[in-house]
Structure formats: structure tokens, C-alpha cells
């Protein structure tokens, strides 16, 4: 009797294990540019829109536009990654214009979130540029994993 119970429970454990494995495939992240842009849109709306505005146009003399910004679509992505990670309070001209507001550090975002939001900014508001990758953000953050 004991043996039957043991075999039966072992069998049902194996069945449950197999069902659990087949029913819950581990969701792999979609690495396509389109998927990154869509994730970035959500992050932009939550983290950046209040200052840089829904159309990426910014607020004159306060918050710079991301639309048409030469840095945002620039080949050197380290600059914009650094601005999101460290914030920006310098009074230096951006496309010949000064902005009075300060941008806080967004280093609490993960490397993937920063890659996504910048990929979104580089491909929205009329901008067109290649993606920002996880590795590019990780390189600027400098080893500290997030
Ligand atoms: C509190 C308002 C505020 C928020 C929120 C904010 N920014 Fe900024 N951002 C600014 C200001 C102000 C500057 C310019 C600062 C300066 O000139 O010193 C700036 C600069 C930038 C620049 C540089 C633009 C250029 O032309 O070089 C980028 C890129 C940028 N922000 C992206 C983002 C992203 C992405 C987010 C969201 C993750 C974000 N910002 C959130 C206010 C903000």
C-alpha cells in the first residue's frame, strides 16, 4: 500500500513538473528595434514627458527639445546616455540655445530602460537614428550593473 502511494505521488509530481515546464515558457525579451521603441515610449511618458513634452518640443528657454536635437540623433551616443545617467545642470548651449531648468539624474532606471527610452527619442518626434543598445549604456555606466 505504502509503495503504491509513493509511486502515485511521485508520478503526479512528475506530471505537475512537466505541465509547469510546458505551460510557462520563459518569456524572452524582444530585441527588435520596434519593441525597444514601444518600451521606451512608456518610459518616456512616465519619466521625461513632463519636461520634454509629448511632442519632444521641450519648453522654450527652460527644457530643450529632443525633436531635431543634434545630440539626440548624434553618432556619439555616450553624451545622451551620460545625460540620462547623471542629469545635466551645465549652462552650456544645446544647438545654440540655453536652458534654465535642471535635469536630475535618472540612474535609477535600468540599463535596458535607458537604452529603450533613448532608442524611442532617437526614433520619434521626426528623429531618425539607430538604436541605443544595452551594451552601450552598460559601458557608460561603467561596470556597475543595473
Ligand atoms: C525636470 C525636467 C526634466 C526631466 C524630467 C527630464 N529632462 Fe532631459 N533635460 C532637461 C533640461 C532642463 C535639460 C538641459 C539642461 C541644461 O541645459 O543644463 C535636459 C537635457 C536633456 C538632453 C540633452 C539634449 C541635447 O540636445 O543635448 C537629453 C537627451 C535629455 N534631456 C533626455 C531626457 C530623457 C530621456 C528623460 C527621461 C528619462 C529626461 N530627459 C527627463 C529637463 C528634464
Is 48 a pocket residue for ligand 1 (Cβ < 6 Å)? Answer: yes
Domain architecture of the chain: domains with CATH: 32-141 (1.10.760.10)
- Please count the CA atoms within 13 angstroms of the CA of 1 that sit on its side-chain side: 0
The larger pLDDT score, comparing residue 125 to residue 4, is at 125
d(CA 97, CA 53): 17
What is the Å distance from ligand 1's center to 106 Cα? Answer: 10
Beta-bridge partners for 59: 63
The answer for 12, left when phi > 0, alpha when psi is -120 to 50, beta otherwise, is: alpha
What is the Å distance from ligand 1's center to 18 Cα? Answer: 49
Residue 106 CA: which ligand 1 atom is closest?
Answer: 38
For residue 19, pLDDT over 60 is answered with: no
Interval 80-139: pLDDT, tens: 999 999 999 999 999 999 999 999 999 999 999 999 999 999 999 999 999 999 999 999
* pTM of the full structure: 0.86
Is 131 a pocket residue for ligand 1 (Cβ < 6 Å)? Answer: no
Amino acid at each position: 500500500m505504502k509503495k503504491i502511494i509513493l509511486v502515485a505521488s511521485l508520478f503526479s509530481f512528475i506530471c505537475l513538473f512537466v505541465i509547469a515546464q510546458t505551460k510557462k515558457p520563459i518569456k524572452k525579451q524582444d530585441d527588435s528595434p520596434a519593441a525597444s521603441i514601444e518600451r521606451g515610449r512608456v518610459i518616456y511618458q512616465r519619466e521625461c514627458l513632463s519636461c520634454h513634452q509629448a511632442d519632444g518640443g521641450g519648453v522654450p528657454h527652460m527644457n530643450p527639445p529632443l525633436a531635431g536635437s543634434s545630440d539626440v540623433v548624434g553618432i556619439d551616443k555616450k553624451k545622451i546616455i551620460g545625460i540620462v545617467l547623471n542629469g545635466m545642470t551645465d549652462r552650456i548651449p544645446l544647438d545654440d540655445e540655453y536652458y534654465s531648468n535642471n535635469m536630475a539624474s535618472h540612474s535609477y532606471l535600468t540599463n535596458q530602460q535607458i537604452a529603450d527610452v533613448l532608442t524611442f527619442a532617437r526614433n520619434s518626434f521626426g528623429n531618425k537614428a539607430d538604436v541605443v543598445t544595452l551594451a552601450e549604456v552598460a559601458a557608460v555606466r561603467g561596470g556597475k550593473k543595473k
